[in-house]
Amino acid sequence: MSASRYLSDNSNPESPGDPLNGSFNSTMDRFLAAAISYATVLGSGAYGVVFKGELPNGTLVAVKVLTNAHDKRMKEQFMAEVSSIGRTHHINLVRLYGFCFDPTTRALVYEYMENGSLDKFLLGDQMAIDGHKMHEIAVGTAKGIAYLHEECEQQIVHYDIKPGNILLDQNLRPKIADFGLAKLCNRESSQIPMTGFRGTHGYAAPEMSKPYPVTYRCDVYSFGMVLFDIMERRINHDMDLKSQCRGYHSAHGTFYRMTGCWRWFAGFLRVKERRR
């Protein structure tokens, strides 16, 4: 098999070093044998399967192995993920350690997030998270989005902000993941042409389904929907369409939820101010 290729020049300069550190600059067989434990599947979907793995130095990783390696759309999403998150480093973005671009296999190696995704907590599948910690998760997610939009050399629009793409580490610190739909943008160009629907129904901004250019504000809209989820402890896309129209997406429902979100944030800000 051909040699695998890995990111090495985007590691955190303040960290002890890149966990890959060139260890897998070899064949796909050696890469899979060293990085993946097939006994532990973290998740799966139309994109492929995510395995829990361990590098030779003991670092735990999540390895996303994409199916349909020759599919044009899958290849585009793979390249979008590598080109976008490979340029970033922020405490609220999941870290990409490396990738394999093999003729038969596409694989991405990420830092392992012990507590999985936020949606599991909102659905009640995991332990309950108190309001103060939920507030910290919301603020951390906002910081990650702000970094993508304002602090990267090239602006990055994620296009799919939702609880399932917000991962939590062992300290419940949020990190935005899944950049398969992301776009790199020049700051001078405020609008991005759309060739088809992107994102997840229930979180995607209304303009995402229209044949019009969009801006980074579509991520802000999606984040607002995530705030509704956090405040109400439920998942928007699990609701049926009629419920969405009566609730989240109606002007009347949105007004009351926006008011509730503001009170929620303001309440925590007042508590923090009193503690100082």
Q: Which residues are catalytic?
A: 160
219, containing H or E segment:
helix 217-232
| CB neighbourhood size of 107 (10 A) | 24
Polymer length in residues for the chain: 276
Question: Which residue positions form the known binding site?
Answer: 64
- Report the C-alpha gap between 138 and 84 in whole angstroms: 22
Q: Which of 143, 159, 263 is nearest to 221 (CA)?
A: 159
Q: What are phi and psi of 216, to 5 degrees?
A: -60, -15
Query: Do residues 243 and 234 touch, judged by C-beta distance below 8 A?
Result: no
Question: Which residue positions form the known binding site for ATP?
Answer: 64
- Report the C-alpha gap between 47 and 66 in whole angstroms: 5
54, containing H or E segment:
strand 48-54
What's the sign of the alpha-carbon dihedral 213, 215, 219, 224?
negative
| CB neighbourhood size of 149 (10 A) | 19
DSSP class of residue 83?
Answer: H
Query: Do residues 172 and 231 touch, judged by C-beta distance below 8 A?
Result: no
- Report the C-alpha gap between 14 and 74 in whole angstroms: 33
| CB neighbourhood size of 249 (10 A) | 16
